Amino acid sequence: MLFAVQLDALGRKAGVRAFAVHPGEIITELVRHLPEEEMVGRGWIDEQGTPLDPSFKTPEQGAATQVWAATSPRLADMGGLYLEDCDVAEALGEDATDELTSGVRPYATDPGDAARLWALSAELTGVDAFAPAR
């Protein structure tokens, strides 16, 4: 999320807008890398492999927020936001608990932290698309 905050701040004047997007929980072919007993233990599937958690999305449903972010006129003049379920995520207070599964916590959108992370990443990689020309 911090990268989206800083990318949006840096790119806004050039017409670049950035978002962080949560697709939701999706059972895709990636689960082939997880042991079945782990998925059963987490309550995702039963012993026969049938999904148990109704909150899991299909791959198409999981892609919906990304498509919405790219095409929604509602987001035309916005950026640096966390999106989930085809909407702007609720900003949570400092007292938000870890049990919450939606919303965005204040530390994830802090502009100062975003700038520091961007600068550190640019320093470590030697790449900064928005560095002043020398």
pLDDT tens readout for residues 35-44: 999 989 988 8
Angle (CA) 83 88 92, round 5°: 95
Q: How far is CA 123 from CA 10, 52, 58, 116, 131, in A?
A: 16, 45, 39, 10, 11
Maximum Cα interatomic distance, the chain, rounded to a whole number of Å: 62
Q: What is the pLDDT of residue 102?
A: 83
pLDDT at 50: 85
Q: What is the mean pLDDT of residues 69-85?
A: 95
Q: Which residue, among 77, 81, 94, 99, has the nearest Cα to 22 in the 3D structure? A: 81
Q: What are the DSSP E strand ranges found in the chain?
A: 19-22, 81-84, 87-88
Please report the pLDDT score of residue 100 as a whole number.
61
Across 52-56, 96-100, 124-128, least confident range: 96-100
Better-predicted residue by pLDDT, 131 or 99: 131
pLDDT at 15: 92
Q: Which two tokens stand for residue 14?
A: 């050039």
Question: Is pLDDT at 85 greater than 90 in this prediction?
Answer: yes
- Convert the pLDDT of each residue in 12-37 to its tens digit: 999 999 999 998 888 788 878 889 99
- Calculate mean pLDDT across residues 44-56: 86
Q: How far is CA 81 from CA 6, 19, 20, 21, in A?
A: 11, 5, 6, 8
